[in-house]
Amino acid sequence: MARLVKRAYKYRFYPTSEQAEELARTFGCVRLVYNKTLAERTRAYTSEGRRVSYVESSATLTAWKKTDELAFLNEVSSVPLQQALRHLQAAFANFFARRAGYPAFKSRKKSRASAEYTRSAFTWRDGRLTLAKMREPLDVVWSRPLPEGARPSTVTVSKDAAGRWFVSILVEETIRPLPPAESRVGVDAGIITPATLSTGEKIVKPKHDRADRRRLARAQRDLARKQKGSANRQKARVALARIHARIADRRRDFLHKLTTRLVRENQTVMIEDLAVRNMGRNHSLARSISDASWRLMRSMLEYKSAWYGRELIVIDLWFPSSKTCSACGTLREEMPLGVRAWECACGALHDRDVNAAINILAAGLAKR
């Protein structure tokens, strides 16, 4: 049965100097409103034990706009400012429900510069997108078409550390499930090998990964040599950000292709529930774990399985997939990370990762 889902399509665009200035002002105002509201809500909660509602925050924003000090907030579209309040409200809801930590302040240097526009704050006509307070449509590079007949409900504009501008367009799309497949697969996520399948196949890292790391190391050394506060240091910082962005783009592309393949070829996919946050505290493995992007891979598998009528089964965090013999079920007491192959007392020879993937598949089938 076809599913109606909300899906975001992300594109690069190239603003005019006037548009860039308007968006820069909007980003700054969004960050200011978010931080001032967070400070006020924190004060009310800590000193008065009172929770501030979205309605109260919205009224406070209106009062701020009437003051001489913050009258400049009227110069940008009001919708992104209201959306910042809604995002903060959602952050507090997640905090009080214990789904997330306490909301953090947005940093001008470290936080993503973005602004969200709802339908009342942009015009979509003949495939051209014009934001509020702008006279001309954005020069968007339509790298792929939007679904036929789709009408954007929300538009998010952002600028990354490498200076690239993006627009993310949220639309409703009908997605039809894939034909049923007979195969099922267990997936063992690893550091050296991003994914090992229960079929025995190992998904290796892209060939460009090592070259990207060398470029990144050179750029980091170059930045460290530049004098703080100098124009050359700023140039080096942007150059480093571009390399980081390229690595992230390639990693995401690799994971999209991998997860799409797994979902298309298999009716059921089994994975482990890895404690990425705890494992990242191991300083000797933190970068490798970050590179592997296990959390992102799981997220992709979750929504793609839901879209295309597949089943994703997550195995318990403490399941000893690597230490259990997939042939006889014997459990070894220890299995150091350095051991990549081992022989069981029953005579079975195991590749560590393939054996784990087979055990994950068996555990997933037992849960069904």
Active centre residues (catalytic)? 188, 272, 353
Q: What is d(CA 162, CA 173) in angstroms, rounded to the nearest whole number?
A: 31
- Separation CA 361–CA 356 (nearest Å): 9
**Both tokens of residue 198?**
């229960």
Residue burial 230-240, b: 16+ Cβ < 10 Å; e: rest: eeebeebbeeb
Two structure tokens written together for 365: 């089938």
DSSP string, 281-320: T-TTTHHHHHHHTHHHHHHHHHHHHHHTT-EEEEE-TT--
3 state DSSP class of 193: coil
Nearest to 52 by CA among 31, 196, 61: 61
**Contact status, residue 346 vs residue 325, Cβ threshold 8 Å:** yes
Under a CB-based contact definition with an 8 Å cutoff, are residues 5 and 175 in contact? yes
